[in-house]
Amino acid sequence: MAVRRLKPITPGTRFRVANTFEEITTDKPEKSLLEPIKKSGGRNNQGKITMRYIGGGHKRRYRIIDFKRDNAGVNGEVKTIEYDPNRSAFISLIEYTNGEKRYIIAPSGIKVGQTIQQGSGSSPDLGNAMPMLEMPLGTLIHNIEMQPGQGGRLCRSAGSYAQLMAKEGKYVALKLPSGESRFVLGACMATVGSVSNSEHSQENKGKAGRSRWLGRRPRTRPSAMNPVDHPMGGGEGRNKGGQPRSKNLIYSQGQKTRSTNKHSSRLIIERRKSKRNK
């Protein structure tokens, strides 16, 4: 798990910082766990663009990931660690003793040949999944469920993890990557360890074409638009256009977008840290 800076032999490699993919063990995915991906180009059923700056990109196939880890009591062996073009984290192919194969989000430090478990009664070792009430305090976890049986929702991207801080009744307190502390039902499943590919944030694409390969089209600066196209457009010279906002007049800083009547607000112990308050 490392990155390397390429030699500047072309303009596209001058600033390129690439992943070494040292952890990857194969480049051929499991065929039974592949699905086609239908691309919309950011358009709805009428052909109108509803999400800007989306389109093109290399053809991909989706890897079916087991976010639920619901085959309790069945041990599995790590067969491969693979690159997934649909996410920032690496994935691992697990073959279970009953012959079933599944992909999981690869934890950092997982090795081929390692045995993993899931379900109540599992040991809190790397890659094992279990209800959070059974984990010791201070454990680093990822792929966390919000509701029992729902499947992992939190901490699934490269390098992310949460920390188990306390247990109170049927709830556990988690410290999330955003800085937010909140209660989650202790019956929810989570996987021990942090997500692999933690140095993903240090990568540099090096050229615009690499973003096009990922299906990202060029983004036009709002200040370069006309007034009819954006609230921050127009004006003689380079105008700041007031406080930064979206095309729908939603301020990018300071304006609260979370519903004040949201039921889960009572489970939040401490809000995430705001950059404006630093």
192, 128 contact by CB (below 8 A): yes
User: Domain boundaries in the chain?
Assistant: 20-200
The one-letter amino acid at 90: F
pLDDT, tens digit (0-9, with 9 covering 90-100), for 108-163? 999 999 999 999 999 999 999 999 999 999 999 999 999 999 999 999 999 999 99
Nearest to 105 by CA among 124, 134, 126: 126
How many angstroms separate the CA atoms of 230 and 16, rounded?
33
Q: 276 in helix, strand or coil?
A: helix
Is residue 94 over pLDDT 60?
yes
Torsion of CA 44, 211, 58, 27, to 10 degrees: -130
Supply the mean pLDDT for the chain: 94
CATH 3.40.50.1820 fits 20-200, yes or no: no
| Cβ within 8 Å of residue 140, ≥6 positions away | 161, 162, 163, 192, 193, 194
pLDDT at 241: 66
pLDDT at 74: 95
132, 138 contact by CB (below 8 A): no
Is residue 184 over pLDDT 70?
yes
